[in-house]
């Protein structure tokens, strides 16, 4: 992803949004917007061009999985790269996210290096 691209960070915990924002800045990404759940994220996605979504899984109102499904079902958003953040790697959850079209997932807690690696894997896969 181009470092000038706009990243949407979705998490119901404001501290986690700040942590991810700081990690992205360490990696050179400056254009970052935030949303506190899936509902707010969809509003952002439908009102401005977003180049990459990093979303928590477990959130009130609308989970990361439901957000992913809505993004993939929306013709104008469906190609948006989507990285899911989870607190665990339960096999069933991973399978469900892959079926829904997630590009990659990352397990909390993570470092800037791991985040960079996951973003790189998505870029490589998408060519």
Partner 1 sequence: MDVQYINPFLEGTLHVVKTMAFIDARPGKPFLKRDNSAKGDISGIIGIAGSARGSFALSFSEGCILRIVSNMLGEEITQVNSDIEDAVGELTNMVSGAARQRLDVMGISLSAAIPTVVRGKDHCIVHTLGGPSIIIPFETDNGNFVADVCMRKNDI
Site residues, partner 1 (CB under 8 A): 13-16, 18-19, 22, 58, 60, 86-90, 107-111
Q: How far is the CB of 101 from partner 1 (least distance, A)?
A: 23
Q: Which long-range contacts (CB under 8 A, 24 or more apart) does 42-48 make?
A: 42/67, 42/70, 42/71, 44/8, 45/8, 45/71, 45/74, 45/77, 45/80, 46/74, 46/76, 46/77, 48/6
The residue (of 87 and 98) whose beta carbon lies closer to partner 1 is 87
The residue (of 19 and 44) whose beta carbon lies closer to partner 1 is 19
Report in angstroms how near the CB of residue 117 gets to partner 1 at its nearest.
Answer: 15
């Amino acid at each position: 992803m181009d470092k000038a691209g706009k990243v949407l960070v979705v998490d119901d915990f404001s501290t986690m949004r700040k942590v991810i924002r700081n990690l992205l800045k360490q990696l050179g990404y400056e254009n970052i917007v935030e949303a506190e759940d899936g509902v707010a994220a969809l509003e952002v996605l439908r009102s401005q061009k977003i180049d990459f979504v990093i979303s928590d899984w477990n959130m009130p109102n609308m989970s990361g999985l439901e957000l992913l499904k809505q993004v993939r079902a929306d013709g104008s958003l469906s190609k948006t790269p989507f990285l899911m953040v989870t607190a665990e790697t339960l096999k069933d959850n991973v399978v469900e996210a892959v079926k829904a079209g997630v590009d990659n997932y990352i397990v909390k807690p993570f470092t800037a290096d791991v985040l960079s690696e996951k973003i790189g894997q998505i870029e490589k896969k998408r060519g």
